[in-house]
């Protein structure tokens, strides 16, 4: 299990636990911990409703073209550290990850 620190849209801090052996992504871990998240497309990098700002200095996988395009269309790419939670796999390397849930500036 790893720990992920999440600040929700209301500014409340949450400490969630996520297993590293189930092939989950951060969005799924947040749902499993019963925090409210839209994630309209269910983790397919097609809606950007699970966007976040990564606050910690963790090494994350490179952003795919699909993720970059979705963040760009959602007007959040200009925010330093913007990522889609569905595109960050849960693994030992992100233990202690700190994220802030993002709002879509284009809505």
CATH number of the domain where residue 57 is located = 3.10.20.30
Mean pLDDT in residue range 46-56: 92
Q: Per this entry, what is the length of the chain?
A: 107
In a domain, 53, yes or no: yes
- Model pLDDT, residue 107: 45
User: Structural domain of residue 51, as residue ranges?
Assistant: 2-101
Residue 107 belongs to some domain of the structure: no
100/79: higher pLDDT: 100
Q: How many domains does the chain have?
A: 1
Whether 77 shows a pLDDT value over 80: the answer reads no
* Residue 54, in any domain of the structure: yes
Tell me what the mean pLDDT of segment 20-25 comes to.
96
Question: Does some domain include residue 42?
Answer: yes
Establish if 106 belongs to a structural domain.
Answer: no
Q: Measured between alpha carbons, how far apart are the two ends of the chain, in Å?
A: 35
The Cβ of residue 100 has, within 10 Å, a number of other Cβ atoms equal to: 17
Evaluate if residue 42 carries a pLDDT over 50.
yes
**With bands split at pLDDT 50, 70 and 90, how would you rate the model's confidence at 60?**
very high
pTM of the model: 0.90
Q: Are 89 and 61 in contact (CB under 8 A)?
A: yes
């Amino acid at each position: 299990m790893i720990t992920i620190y999440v600040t929700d849209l209301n500014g409340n801090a949450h400490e969630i636990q996520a297993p590293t052996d189930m092939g989950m992504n951060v969005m799924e871990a947040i749902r499993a911990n019963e925090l409210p998240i839209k994630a309209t497309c269910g983790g397919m990098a097609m809606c950007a409703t699970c966007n976040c700002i990564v606050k910690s200095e963790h090494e994350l996988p490179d952003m795919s073209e699909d993720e970059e395009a979705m963040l760009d269309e959602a007007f959040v790419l200009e925010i330093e550290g913007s990522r889609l939670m569905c595109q960050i796999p849960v693994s030992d390397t992100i233990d202690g990850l700190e994220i802030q849930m993002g709002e879509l500036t284009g809505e």
